[in-house]
Amino acid sequence: MIMVCDRDYSITLSNNSANIILGAGESLIGQKCYQVLRQAGNPCFDCPLQDTINSGTIIPLVKFDERYNEYFEERCFPIMAADNTVKSFILYVKNITKSRELEEKSSQMKKLSALGQISSGVAHDFNNVLTVVLGRVQLMKKQISDPYMLKSLDMIEKSALDGASKVRKIQEFSRPHSKTLSQTVNLNEIIEEVVEITRPKWDVASKIRGILIEPIVDLQPDIFIMGDSSDIRNAFTNIIFNAIDAMPNGGVLSVKTQRTDGYVTVDFKDTGIGMTEETVERIFDPFFTTKGVLGNGLGMSEVYGIIKRHNGKIAVQSEVGVGTTIKLRFPAVRQKTAAAPSDRLDLTVTFSIYIIDDEEYIIETLKDFLSDLGHHVTTNTDPEEALDEISKQHFDIVITDLGMPGISGLELAEKIKALKSETQIVLISGWALNLKAKDIENRIDFIINKPFSFEKINYTLSEIEEKLLKIRQKQTQ
């Protein structure tokens, strides 16, 4: 919109856009600019004209117009008389709603990127801590026979493993990567678990507030998909929490599963306050929330990511004052029997092993475990010193951390392989590893993510034993 105004703020000329938007198609000539723009009786106290004159540069002003629910940018261009006074001015007004939305999304992506970097570092540190917790608990369980103590250690171990699962979620958030869906998941079992997990909120907390929320669960038998049970459990928990929050006066939460035409569907339906069309459109946007300070806007965006990773679809139906239905659909599979546990854990040989990690407490934990199994263990927190020792002595296996000061585990592995190609390199890391084949080719033989169980370490050693046995058999042929 463009308008020319005199010194008294009267419009002397206006273009067609200004006439249509501000004048309902009628000419604006003769009206005051502050009347048609702000519906005010006096010149605007924040008029950009004076700021522009004082600064000598065009100072834009952004205002939200409630009449149109849109943002507008106003710019004033003064027309000066010969005596350097304002003769008139041109008022230029532009709708910037769409550009603001793009800026906000860009800002959200920058926040996500920053949050990803922070969370990645935090996850790495937690993995190091959990590695020691798990290791020490497993070492203690081998030395204790008291049933009560063993039960307590089992609880600590399970909590540490649950913590490790949460850390993996942080790493997946900070660095999304494709995950092989190899586990058969019983959705009915997960729904029953989640209903119990969320009971403190829909039952206990609701009764304290004097309201009643009633869950109704209707589960068709044999509802299986390929996926990650921890991810699905997290997604369903988020959906139920949102449904409970949407029923401040109580209501009914219905969960239903069905299997049709090679797909399984899961419907979560509440009788809450519902959502507007605008809210439904933005429900999966990161950082978008209708809960104010009580929400962070990441719950449903996380749900969306989990469903997509499981090759599923998610749809939202909602009506203000009636309620909301979240509809999920996944490819169905038949139930698979669990694979028999590996029987390749009993080693017939002992190894000479060199451990390199800049965290001394991780080294000590690994050393205690491997020494207890009869292996000959040497350790070092300095990768350069370790490389010098490895070049002078024989070691069957080198276990090295990925991130170390001065030299990375990958660089160290490359140097060791150049010296002694037969040495087996095991890379351990608390980072979310997304290594390509070219990164590990001819350098890394095995990779173990922190936190790891001693069963994983022992299983890796059994694989190394089998690998070395095959190599020696070929050499003797």
Per-residue model confidence as pLDDT tens digits over 193-244:
889 888 888 988 888 889 999 999 999 999 999 988 878 988 899 899 999 9
Question: How does residue 341 score in pLDDT terms, banded at 50, 70 and 90?
Answer: very low
Asked if 385 contacts 393 with a C-beta cutoff of 8 angstroms, the reply is: no
Q: Are strands 397-401 and 352-356 parallel, antiparallel or unpaired?
A: parallel
Of residues 355 and 119, more confidence is placed in 355
The domain spans of the chain are 2-95, 111-174, 183-331, 352-476
Q: Which neighbouring-strand residues pair with 117?
A: none
Retrieve residue 285's tokens: 């946007």
Per-residue model confidence as pLDDT tens digits over 145-170:
888 888 888 878 777 776 776 666 66
CATH topology (fold) of 352-476: Rossmann fold (3.40.50)
Number of C-alpha atoms within 13 angstroms, CB side, residue 413?
A: 26
Per-residue model confidence as pLDDT tens digits over 61-113:
888 888 888 889 999 998 888 888 888 999 999 999 888 877 777 666 666 66
* Overall average pLDDT of the 303-315 stretch: 89
Average pLDDT value for the chain: 83
pLDDT at position 301, please? 81
Asked whether the predicted pLDDT for residue 296 surpasses 50, the reply is no
Asked if 274 contacts 319 with a C-beta cutoff of 8 angstroms, the reply is: yes
Domains 2-95 and 183-331 share a fold: no
Per-residue model confidence as pLDDT tens digits over 243-281:
999 999 999 999 999 998 889 999 999 999 999 988 888
pLDDT at position 346, please? 56
The 3-class SS string of 281-303 reads: HHCCCCCCCCCHHHCCCCHHHHH
Asked whether the predicted pLDDT for residue 433 surpasses 60, the reply is no
pLDDT at position 149, please? 87
In angstroms, the CA 204 to CA 189 distance is 22
pLDDT at position 297, please? 40
In angstroms, the CA 299 to CA 246 distance is 14
Per-residue model confidence as pLDDT tens digits over 100-137:
877 777 666 666 666 656 666 677 677 778 888 888 88
* Overall average pLDDT of the 277-298 stretch: 63
Q: Which of 261, 161, 272, 156 is nearest to 206 (CA)?
A: 272
**Percent of the chain whose predicted confidence (pLDDT) is above 90:** 35
In angstroms, the CA 157 to CA 163 distance is 10
pLDDT at position 93, please? 93
Q: Which of 46, 338, 326 is nearest to 191 (CA)?
A: 326
CATH for 2-95, among 3.40.50.850, 3.30.450.20, 2.60.120.10, 3.40.50.720? Answer: 3.30.450.20
Of residues 346 and 460, more confidence is placed in 460
CATH topology (fold) of 183-331: Heat Shock Protein 90 (3.30.565)
pLDDT at position 342, please? 44
Q: Are strands 424-429 and 61-65 parallel, antiparallel or unpaired?
A: unpaired
* Highest mean pLDDT, choosing among 7-21, 32-46, 447-461: 7-21
